[in-house]
Amino acid sequence: MKRRQFIIFLGGAAATLPLAARAQQKVPTIGYMGQATPAAESQRLAAFVQRLRELGRVEGRNVAIEVRWTEGRAERATEIAAEFVRLKVDIIVTSGTPLIAAAMQATSVIPVVFAVAGDPVGTGLVASLARPGGNVTGLSVLAVDLPGKRIELLREVVPGLRRLAILGNPGNSIIVQEMAEFRAAAGALGLQTVMLEIRKVDDIAPAFEAIKGSAQALYVCQDLLTLTNRVRINTSALGARLPAMFASREHVETGSLMSYGPDFLDLFRRAADYVDKILKGAKPADLPVEQPTKFDLVINLTTAKALGLTISPTLLARANEVIE
């Protein structure tokens, strides 16, 4: 069985083991709520499960995992969170501000661990990074210097970059913040910006029609909408001959030019450490929210060639991974 098929199987198998059988084993149950689909996020789930194994917590033996996917629909998060409460899971693990908020609305008792959150303090998920308070803690990806670094990378591969399009979902408060920060960083570097707002999948095609000929490159703010529809976005960007920058490697694997951001697989591994500590008796309120320690630059050379771009040997040497 190929690695990707195995990972997707792993995500499906975790959700199919009967809950009654798990109850007989009297093992703690983790409710895992993924932002998108198994195809989009299976590697993140696999990283989380692998780290649990390293910590001595083996699925089907001494821990159970109920896996659910929102498939890019925020309303599904509310349904899944309510289901986890009914199932009386011991911990909820998720990522992304809308999903974390849904879990918090469903329960103030069950611990919630987030593997990824944009600005947990600014969005009211936690009281502070050092002392989260309540039943929620995890890992934040907030980094004020990321927009500037991403723009500099785009400038390295797009000669004479002057006009930059920024695409994001204004229905997500953290994306509104990211778009504003990216626009400010672009302005400080002397770039003009075109802001593209999408709230649903049907907005993607019109957004790209609107920027034909008015931008030289594109940055896509990542949330469950853009992650779930990454193939559609990448296809549209290539059709418009726009070099596209994203936050994580999943987009580059499906045709984007490059990504730069926190190592998301590492964040999901570290989320397993939070789960282990809580199952040993620690309280989420006392576990500080941590920051990324690893960042990835991934470049798709096939896409670069299709766009007629030359990636310098220096930049390729700095990349954590080059897809050919």
Full-model pTM: 0.83
pLDDT at 166: 96
Domain 3-142+263-294 and domain 146-262+296-323 have a common topology: yes
What architecture is the 146-262+296-323 domain classified under in CATH? 3-Layer(aba) Sandwich (3.40)
Tell me yes or no: is domain 3-142+263-294 CATH 3.40.50.2300.
yes
Strand order through the sheet with 192-197:
192-197, 163-168, 217-220, 244-246, 258-262, 295-300, 321-323
Is pLDDT larger for residue 168 or for residue 19?
A: 168
Mean pLDDT check: name the lowest of 141-145, 207-211, 314-318. 141-145
Phi, psi (5° rounding) for residue 314? -65, -45
pLDDT tens-digit readout, 43-98: 999 999 999 999 999 999 999 999 999 988 888 999 999 999 999 999 999 999 99
* First-last CA distance in the chain: 23
pLDDT at 23: 45
pLDDT tens-digit readout, 10-26: 544 444 444 444 445 57
315: exposed, middle or buried (Cβ count in 10 Å: 0-12, 13-18, 19+): middle
- 78 contacts 44 by C-beta, under 8 angstroms: no
Residue identified by tokens 């282990």 is 276
Q: Where are the domains of the chain?
A: 3-142+263-294, 146-262+296-323
Q: Using CA atoms, how far apart are residues 247 and 175, in angstroms rounded to an integer? A: 12
pLDDT at 9: 45
Q: Using CA atoms, how far apart are residues 165 and 194, in angstroms rounded to an integer? A: 5
Give the mean pLDDT of the chain. 90
Phi, psi (5° rounding) for residue 48? -65, -50
Highest mean pLDDT among 20-24, 146-150, 318-322: 318-322
